[in-house]
Structure formats: structure tokens, C-alpha cells
Amino acid sequence: MALNPDELAAVIARDIPPYSYVNLGIGRPTRVADHLTPGSGVVLHTENGMLNMGPAAAGEQIDTDLTNAGKQPVTELPGASYFHHADSFMMMRGGHLDVCVLGAFQVATNGDLANWHTGEADAIPAVGGAMDLAIGARQVFVLMSLFDKQGRPKLVPQCTQPLTGLACVSRVYTELAVFDVGPGGAVVRDTFGITVDELRERLDVPLAAL
């Protein structure tokens, strides 16, 4: 059975190495914060200037001055710190993040990423910090649906939409499967309610399997 967004976020949380410094992109990637286990040592970084962010805030926990980059209210963990936006981007660009989790419109099997503009005339571009994260983080995980609203694959031989970064993505998490991508192409790590052969029938890319 295909995974729902929270189940998929939990899969990603389990795959993040302990004691990693991690940035979660706007949108579905923010759900990963709610599934990190206490004691994992993972430190969440936000591009708006916070280290050691906790899970989403609710009820009396909500502080309107304490948000993630997507303006969602969040909690803070012991030892949390705050800093200037420019310092946050220096951390992103300087190679200080172990992992970032981003959304995407397309990912190519060699790891190219397209996630800031669909290329359509009426689309609203959203540059944000994705380009900085794509080149600055040691590993880039992508959380996305495997197909778009028209049923077209988003894991592709070559991106046709404007690129965010070249050969930067290492792993792609979707509701149907998890893929490693890179110079050797796409490798299926895990599947959810579908077989590798069925994936091969629906995708236009060669697939290897672990």
C-alpha cells in the first residue's frame, strides 16, 4: 500500500543518521521534524535562523515569534539558538549541514534537481534557499510524489524544468518507492504496495534494485 505523507516522513526520519545537522524544506519535508525520536541527537536547522528546532507546536505551545522557514509554529529543544538570517545562509553554503530534505517538481536519475519553477508562463517562482541547500548540504534527500497531477513521472531521465542544482540529490522518497540516484542511475531501495517490475512499466527510466 502506498504511504501517506506522515508515514513517508517517518521513513525519512529513520534514515537520518544520529547527530546529523539537518535542514527541512518548506512543505511536506517539515513533517519529518514530528518523527525524529528523542535521543537521536539530530539538530534541525532553519534558514530563518534557528538551531535545534523541535516538532510542530500546537495549542498553548504556539509562539507566533517561533516559526520554521514556512512560517509554521514550531517548538524549541534544549540548547536551541537563534541567529541572523545571513549567518543561517552561511551555514547552508559553507558545508555545515549533513542532510537537507527538499520537495521537487522533478529529479533526474543522475541527481539533478528542479524545484523552484515549473517553467510555465503563469507559474510563481519560489527560489528561496533551495539552491543554497542543494549545493551546500552533504546529502540531499527529496520528498515528492512519484507522479504529477497529470500522471507524468517526476523521476525522469533528464529534467525539463528549470534546474535548482546539478547532480546534487542522493535519495528520493515517494509514496510508492525510495530510490538512490546519482552517476550510476536510479536504484530502488524499497517499495510500498508496488513491485519493481510495475515501477519499470510506469517510469521512463532504467531501474536497478538492491
Among 107, 104, 93, 101, CA closest to 155: 107
Q: How far apart are CA 71 and CA 69, in angstroms?
A: 5
**Strands ordered across the beta sheet of 106-108:** 113-114, 106-108, 155-156
Strands, DSSP E only, in 63-173?
74-82, 99-102, 106-108, 113-114, 139-143, 155-156, 169-173
Give yes or no: 175 in active site: no
Residue among 7, 47, 120, 175 flagged as catalytic: 47
Q: How far apart are CA 136 and CA 94, in angstroms?
A: 6
Burial of 86 (0-12, 13-18, 19+ CB in 10 A): exposed
Name the DSSP class of 135: H
3-state secondary structure of 197: helix
Taking the CB of residue 182, how many other CB atoms lie within 10 A of it?
15
List active site positions.
47
